[in-house]
Amino acid sequence: MAARKYSHSALKTAQRCLKQWSYKYIDRLEPKDRPKYFEEGSDLHELLEKLYAEGLGFDEYVDLYDQSKPEHQAILNRYSEFWEEEDKDWEVVFVEEDLEMKVGPYTVVFKPDLVIRLHGNLWVVDHKTVAEIPDETDPYNMSDFQHLLYLEGVRQHTGEMPAGFVFNYVRRKLPRQPELVKKGDRIADLRRMDTDYDTLHRFAEAHGQLSDPDVQEKLKILNLTPNRYFQRHYITANETAIDEAYWDTYMELQKLNESERTHTYPRHVLGGYAGSAACARCPYQPLCFSEMMGINTDVVALDYIERPKREK
Ligand code: SF4
C-alpha cells in the first residue's frame, strides 16, 4: 500500500487503539449522544479561535458571539480581561491553520490551535478547556506527546524551531460571584467560595466589605495561589524529546499502515499494558466488548450513527 496521509486526530486514535480507529475511520461510526463536556469544550474553543483570529476588542465579543451560550461568552470576557496585558505581547502568527508534516514516507495533517511570536520566539498554543486545571509540575502534562510532534510540524512549516508550547487552560465555569448574607452586613460562605481574586475584590469593594478581616484573609490566599480559572503553562522545547516523538510516531504509522494492509485491528484492551481500565472513556466500548464476547450487537449498534465522510 502506498504511503498515506493521516490527520493528526486519526493518528492519535490509532495510538490509543487500532480497533477504535477501525470503528471510527473504517466503519465511520460515532455515538448518537456525545458527552456534554465535548459540546461545552468545542463551543469555548471556537470562541477562543475567533478571539485570536479576529483580534477583537473587549466590548465587541458579546455581539459577535451571540450564537454561543451566555455562560461561555461570560467566560471569554473574563478570560480576555484576565489576559489583557499578557496578550499585548502575543503576536498571532496563525490560527487553526491546516499544516502538513512529513514523518518518514507518511504525511500527517495537523492543526495547531494557535501559533504566536513572543519576544522573538515562536510558541505553539493549545487551548485546553477543562473542569479543573492540573498541577503545572505534573510530568505527564509536560511531556504530552501530541505537542512535541506539533513542534516538529511547525518547524517543518516555518523553518524555525519553536521555543516550546503553551497550554492555555480555561476552566469551563466562571469564578463564583459572591453574595451578601441576608442581613447584608458580610459576604456569605467566604471560606468555601470557589472564586478568583478580581471577582471577590470587585464585589467586596462595591459592597464596602474590603476591610472585613475574613475578606482580607481570603483575598490574601487567592493572591498567593495560582488562579484556578485561567492559567498558561509554558513548556520549553527539548530536541531529544521531539526526536523521540517523531520516531515513535513513525513506528505507530508503520503499525497503522500494516493494519490497513492486512485488515486487522487489534484491541488495545488485550495488550499487556492496557487492560479494561484503558477503555473506560472509549465511546465504542459497548460495541467492542459485545463483539469480543460474541454477544448479538444489534441493539447496541442502535446507539451509533454513521459519520459524514472525511479524510483519514
Ligand atoms: S473498548 Fe478498548 S479495546 Fe475496544 S475499541 Fe475501545 S479502546 Fe479499543
Residue 275 banded pLDDT, cuts 50, 70, 90:
low
Residues 74 and 206 in one domain: no
Residues 238 and 162 in one domain: yes
Distance 269 CA to ligand 1 centre (A): 6
* Residue labelled with grid coordinates 513542534: 151
19-28, 97-106, 211-220, 267-276: least confidently modelled range: 267-276
Report the mean per-residue pLDDT for the chain: 85
**Per-residue confidence (pLDDT) for residue 77, from 0 to 100:** 86
**pLDDT at residue 249 is higher than 70:** yes
Residues 207 and 58 in one domain: no
Whether residue 279 lies inside any domain: the answer is no
Residue 282 in contact with ligand 1 by CB distance below 6 A: yes
Residue 145 banded pLDDT, cuts 50, 70, 90:
low
Report, as an integer, the average pLDDT of 258-286.
78
Angle at 82 between CA 59 and CA 178, to 5 degrees: 95
Q: How many residues does the chain have?
A: 312
Whether residue 273 lies inside any domain: the answer is no
Residue 101 banded pLDDT, cuts 50, 70, 90:
very high
**pLDDT at residue 142 is higher than 60:** no
Residues 18 and 149 in one domain: yes
Nearest CA to ligand 1 atom 7: 279
Residues 65 and 120 in one domain: yes
**Per-residue confidence (pLDDT) for residue 140, from 0 to 100:** 57
Residue 45 banded pLDDT, cuts 50, 70, 90:
confident
Report, as an integer, the average pLDDT of 280-285.
85
Residues 182 and 134 in one domain: no
Report, as an integer, the average pLDDT of 228-257.
91
Burial status of residue 150 (CB atoms within 10 A of its CB: 0-12, 13-18, 19 or more):
buried
Distance 290 CA to ligand 1 centre (A): 11
**Per-residue confidence (pLDDT) for residue 221, from 0 to 100:** 94
Residue 284 in contact with ligand 1 by CB distance below 6 A: yes
Residues 238 and 96 in one domain: yes
Residue numbers of the domain that contains 185? 176-225
Whether residue 76 lies inside any domain: the answer is yes
Report, as an integer, the average pLDDT of 73-86.
90
Residues 200 and 166 in one domain: no
Residues 12 and 154 in one domain: yes
Residue 285 in contact with ligand 1 by CB distance below 6 A: yes
Whether residue 296 lies inside any domain: the answer is no
* C-alpha separations of 153 from 6, 149, 246 in Å: 13, 6, 10
Structural domain total, the chain: 2
Residue 29 in contact with ligand 1 by CB distance below 6 A: no
Whether residue 302 lies inside any domain: the answer is no
Residues 112 and 257 in one domain: yes
Whether residue 309 lies inside any domain: the answer is no
Whether residue 280 lies inside any domain: the answer is no
CATH of the domain at 61: 3.90.320.10
- Interaxial angle between packed helices 213-224 and 197-206, expressed in degrees from 0 to 180 and rounded to the nearest 10: 160
**pLDDT at residue 274 is higher than 80:** no
Residues 47 and 194 in one domain: no
Whether residue 188 lies inside any domain: the answer is yes
Report, as an integer, the average pLDDT of 245-268.
92
User: CA-to-CA distance for 108 and 249, rounded, in angstroms?
Assistant: 10
**Per-residue confidence (pLDDT) for residue 123, from 0 to 100:** 97
Residues 149 and 209 in one domain: no
Could you identify the atom of ligand 1 that is nearest to the CA of residue 18? 8
